[in-house]
Each structure stands twice: as C-alpha cells, then as structure tokens.
Amino acid sequence: MAVDDDTLHKMAQRLRRDCLESTAEAGSGHPTSCMSAAELVSVLFFDEMRFDPRDPSGRDQDVFVLSKGHAAPVLWAVLKEAGGIDDDLKTLRRFDSRLEGHPTPRVPWVRVATGSLGQGLCAGVGMAWARKLDRSEGRVYALLGDGEAAEGSVWEAAEFASFYALDNVCAIFDVNRLGQSGPTMYEHHLEPYLSRLRGFGWEAVGVDGHDVKAVREAYARARATKGKPFGIVARTFKGKGVSFLENKDGWHGKAVKKGEELRKALAELGDTSVTIKVEPRRYAPSQAPSPSEPRVSPAYELGQEVATREAYGSALAALARTAPQVVALDGDVKNSTFSEKFKEAAPERFVEAYIAEQNMVGAALGMSTEGKVPFASTFACFLTRAYDFIRMAVYSRPSHLVLCGSHAGISIGEDGPSQMALEDLAMMRALLGTTVLYPSDAVSGERLVETAARTQGIVYIRTSRPKTKVLYDNGEAFPVGGSKTLRSGPKDRVTIVAAGVTVAEALKAHEVLGKDGIAARVIDLYSVKPVDEATLRKAAEETRGIVTVEDHSAAGGIGDAVAAAVAGRTRVEILGVRDIPRSGKPEELMKAYGISAESIVEAARRLS
C-alpha cells in the first residue's frame, strides 16, 4: 500500500533527527549535508525502490549508491528505519562500529565505498550495464551532491550511460548550494545541471527537493522513461528544518553540540515519531549465466617470439569462451592491448569505455558487484588518471577486479616518455591487499590472466609491447606469490632478479657472466606482489648479493620489493630507470638507462 505524502515528509524529519543525534554523539560528521537529502531519501526508500530489507545482496532488487559519501549518516538512518540494519545509530564513527564516517561495505548494503567525490555514478552505470546484460529489471539510483558535479568523472559516467542507453539508472543531484568552503559553482541554479544532462542525452527534470509530491512524481517519471538514463536535479537547502543551520555557510562537516544546541535543533523538527513498514518487493529472477572455472590453453613453441600484450588478448578470448562471468572493458586501445580478441569472441560482454579511464575503472568496479569478473585494460601510463578510483576500489573490497596496463616502460620505444609507464608497479604495490603480476613470455602471460580471473580482490597485470621469446612449457603453472628460477647451480655467486622484458636481459647477462667464470642465478619474479620471499631469502643466503633489474622507475618497484624481502641478509643493487627518458629504439633506450644485459653484468661483477 502506498505511503501518503505527509507520512513520507514526517519520515524525512525523522531522518534529520537521526542524523543530528548520531553526529552530535560522535562529535563530528556532516549532518547538514544529510538534512538536505532527507526527502529525496525518504521517498526513494519508503515509496519508490523495490527491495527487501532482509536481503542486502541487491539481487532482483533496486539498488542505491550514495555518491556524496559524507552524507553516510542519512544512509545509516534510512537503513535503520527501513529495517535493513539494527545497529545503534549513536555508535556512528566509533572504532567498534561498522557505521563508518563514509560508506564502506562493512555494512553489506554498501555496494561500493564512496567519499572521494565523483565516483558513485561511475560505479552505478557499471551496475546498470551489467543488469542490462543479465536482463535484470532492477534499477540503480545514485545520489550525488552539487559540489561533486564539478568532477569530470561525473560527466564521463553521464556520457557512458547515454551511449549505452542505460534507462535503468537514475542520478539524483542534491543541489543544496553550499560546499565545504563556500557556495558551489552554480549555487541554486538548476539549469546548468539540467542542460548538461540533456546535452549528454539524458532525460532530466528539476524539482523542489523538499516537496514530497514533486519528488515522487520525478521518480515515477524516471521509472517510466525508456531508452535514456534519467536525472533528477533537486533544489534543496543544507541543514533544512533547523533555522540556525538551514542555508547557512560554515556548517559543513560540523556536528551540533550535545546539550542545549542539539535540543534546540530537535525541537524545531517537531514530532518525528513515525514508523513505515517496508514490504519486500522484488523483480522476477534475472537471466545471469552460472559462472564456470576460468581456463586458458596456451599453444606456443619454445623460442617463439610473442608479446605478452598479445598473449593477454588470446587469454581473454579463451576466458570469453570458458567463463561467462568474465567481461572486458578497454579505453580505446583495444587493438594495442589486444582486448579486441575478447570483443571478437563475445561482443555482448565487451565494453568500449573510450578515453575515459576514471569511468572505465569505476564502471568495472560496479560490474564486479553484479557478480562479473571485469578485465579493464589500457596503456599502463593512463591508469595513473584513474588511480584514485583504484584506491577507492580497495575499500570497496570487490570480489574480482582485474586491471591490465600494457605498453609499460621505456621498452615501448619511439613513442616517448608520455606513453612510458614507469610508476605503475609502485602505485599498485602501495595499495593494500592488491596482487601485482608481470609476465615475461606468452605462456606466463596467458597463465597469469587465468590466475587473475581466479584471484579474489584487485589484480594488476603488467604487459609489454616488445615481442619476447617463449621460455616456458604450455602446461607451466604460475600461482600468485611464486617465482621461476631459470638458472641456478651450487656455485652461484650472484642472483639476478628480473620480470617482464628484463628477464631476457638477465638471461643474456647470465651467459656473459658464465664465460667470465661468475655463476649467476636468474629468477623470474612474475609475482611482484606478493613476492616469493622464501626463494629470495634462499638466494640471499646462498649468493653474495642480488641484482634487480626492471623496466620501471628505480623507486617503488621490483627492486624495493626484493630489498624489503631480504632486508639485512645480503646486498641488493637496484637497476631501474633513474632519468627522464626520451624517444628511441627499445634496445638503445634499455642500454642508455641502465637496464640492459650490459648493465646487469657490470652490477653483478661488483657484487660477486
């Protein structure tokens, strides 16, 4: 039975009370940002959305993304009032509480962590795309603040949603006029937001965000719109309902004080004793295929020359055939990353994300919440644009999210420094709980794609442009945390640790050193994170020192990983790029910047 407007307004007042009380108890938070959105949230959860308060999975239901994550208290409040959680709201922000200051999946209703602004809609459009793929009727609602609409990623997501005709996504802009340090860009003028949305191909309507009837009508219109995403641009007031807070600057991120100040604020809200029972409402089951074990079948000959980027594409194509849960995204470089092979095999599961890397990563994260195993690929250097999205994805704790950065390092050659990723291993190693894989040949390239598809969490695969010789048998396994010792003997005097394109250089150096009577152990450290500490420490004990060599900055990559693993056990000399590079042939660049076989030989001689 529909809830009347007066009851929904009263629930909005109740949510305001909850937010004021919880933030006052915490002594911090963003109550005024919550208060502006109270009617938008009340109508959505208690009238519009179809969901089951007992089931936070979102399966066959509508789902909600709070992009303006600082308004977390209103999310916790509405979930409590709807019966989705039973937590004490006054534990907000406490160390022993799952009700954190910004949304995280510690509360299972939170599908993606938010709080770094401009990201919620990107995840939302990824969810919506996945639901279209599975023929799910469930809709996606994302609540944004007007301040975050200055982020370009919002409009990357808007363009994506329009291009893919995602009429199952609704973006709600809470235009409350005030940001953290002053007024937002357009204050209470709704037309700039409406014209932008319409320009990107959305249907959009402006409303008084505190008028329950108008908000209900806007949500109904969104549901009825076909072929286009829908935007609701709501004019609201920060701190709505309390005279000394409403539309007043200087209150962002500031709780009212317990005692007289809180009592005064609550008195202005009036009677908020209201309960609305939410009856479970679900859609018919979706048609998502059952997942299966990802499998690849490399078929190479020893000595054959194949680029690892090409092996990546071949492996993706194999996953397209063997694992229906795998989807692929690319940033308009699919003919260089070779993800186009996936598109050829399963075009309906391939997403061209175009040159919008932030949205590509955000959408991939959203897809992962729908049970997909997304592989998102671009040149490794361009992933730096999306680093904050990757950082936030860590806190979302995705079941699977695979990123592939190709064309890494100076070995790409003539394209020059703008295209040379020399930072990617460092940035991916720095993220908590990530896995970093770096194949050296086609077999390890394919097998590590298979490994990535089976590995929980965020996995980064680094691929290279140059062709390299096949070193491994097709049946070789490459588990996370492993390495391959390619050359060793009882008289080894030095260890050379390499990965990717520098493995071939290490093997050349091994031959030269052997002619000089210096036995060298060679390790392919294909798992950069976690590293094979046992093998590295054994090498530290059995040889006089370790030379690491990588087509990456000398800071933060393989050398630092090895040095940390063997700290205090032996000497480590790190060979990596230390100067700003320039265009040139791969061979001359590797020699000029100290990561060729010649440089390895010189370093090994110093240590032996």
State how far Cα 184 lies from the chain centre.
27
Could you identify the residue written with the tokens 């048998």? 473
Closest CA to 585 of 362, 347, 445, 411: 411
Q: In degrees rounded to 5, what are phi and psi of residue 147?
A: -60, -40
DSSP 8-state assignment for residue 183: B
Of 21, 148, 357, 423, catalytic: 357
- Token match 């095999």: residue? 345
CA atoms within 13 A on the CB side of 47: 25
Contact 174, 144 (CB under 8 A): yes
Annotated active-site residue 357? The verdict is yes
3-class SS at 591?
A: helix
Pairing of strands 467-469, 305-307: antiparallel
Amino acid in position 268: E
Tokens at 128, concatenated? 């919506």
Closest CA to 308 of 329, 338, 332, 342: 338
Answer whether 175's CB lies under 8 Å from 33's CB. no
Query: Is 146 in contact with 186 (CB distance < 8 Å)?
Result: yes
Report which of 324, 318, 295 is spatially closest to residue 133, judged by C-alpha positions.
Answer: 324
Assess contact for 89 and 99: CB atoms under 8 A.
yes
Rounded distance between C-alpha atoms, residue 62 and residue 557, angstroms: 42
CA–CA distance, 548 with 315 (Å, rounded to integer): 28
Instruction: Read off the tokens for 372.
Output: 């997909």
Q: How far apart are CA 170 and CA 231, in angstroms?
A: 6
Reduced to 3 states (helix: H, G, I; strand: E, B; else coil), residue 56 is coil
Please report, in angstroms and rounded to a whole number, the separation of the first and last CA atoms in the chain. 81
Please list the active-site residues.
Answer: 357
